[in-house]
Amino acid sequence: MMDGVEVSVVCPAYNEEETIEDTVKAVLETLSNFLPARAFEVVIAEDGCDDRTPEIATRLSEQNGRVRHIHSDQRLGRGRALSYAFERAHGDILVYLDADMATDLGNLEKLVEVVRSEDFDIATGSRWLPESQVNRPAKREIPSLGYNVLVRTVLRSDFQDHQCGFKAFDRTVLDALLPAIQDEHWFWDTEVLVKAQRRGYRVKEFPVDWTPKRDSKVDLIRDAFGMGSQILRTWWDLSVSPRVTRRVSIRDGTSIVVISLLLVTYSSH
């Protein structure tokens, strides 16, 4: 570990040439408001980009010793890029936030302090708690609501929002979880939370202010179907026992896929 680094904030970046510099500068400024200068780093997890993101990330790391650029020659996928960066980060508290800063950085100190001072293993922002302030169009809100209901029902999760790109982890806990995380893309967040809950880790979900700054990079058809299959895979891994018959498994699995397709169909209109 780099001496003195307590908090590592990872920004996953795939073709973020228009946003990454402003994001890194804003995160550095926010962290400096509540942490000593040598107590944090910002890690750009650059995921096989084909725009100017690598060039910008390299320049930022050369200009500021608190910034690190972790490059991948090929596209890893969002989840795998996060895992790759976390394994190479220096902090004892590992944080990530999406590069578009949809979640207000005014929530960042709370995110860090939940793990740093409140003795939780994981902190996660939520757009679906009553106190959350969210400005989201219906075409994104309905699929998100349906997805979270599906995860809570099928995977017996206690969380309201599984996909908010705003999370913090105790390093020891995340190191223990990562070998069990199979997804390499968008389902990574959900799988981490569900498996943390099943293992009895202390997870705090708290409300955030959230405003989308651009269209989502999620492909409504391909990624929604893929995440439906990942729900099925995770359910199978965690819940199937000798008492569950093959017929019941096929029936429930088919239901999950059908519900996912219906959500995609609705959101595409």
- Beta bridge pairs of residue 8: 41, 94
What are the residues whose beta carbons fall under 8 Å from the beta carbon of 139, sequence distance 6 or more? 267
Q: Which two tokens stand for residue 132?
A: 């959350």
Catalytic, out of 189, 209, 219, 252: 189
Q: Is 121 known to be catalytic?
A: no
- How far, in Å, CA of 21 to CA of 59, rounded? 10
Q: Tell me whether strands 122-126 and 203-207 are parallel, antiparallel or unpaired.
A: parallel
Catalytic residues: 189
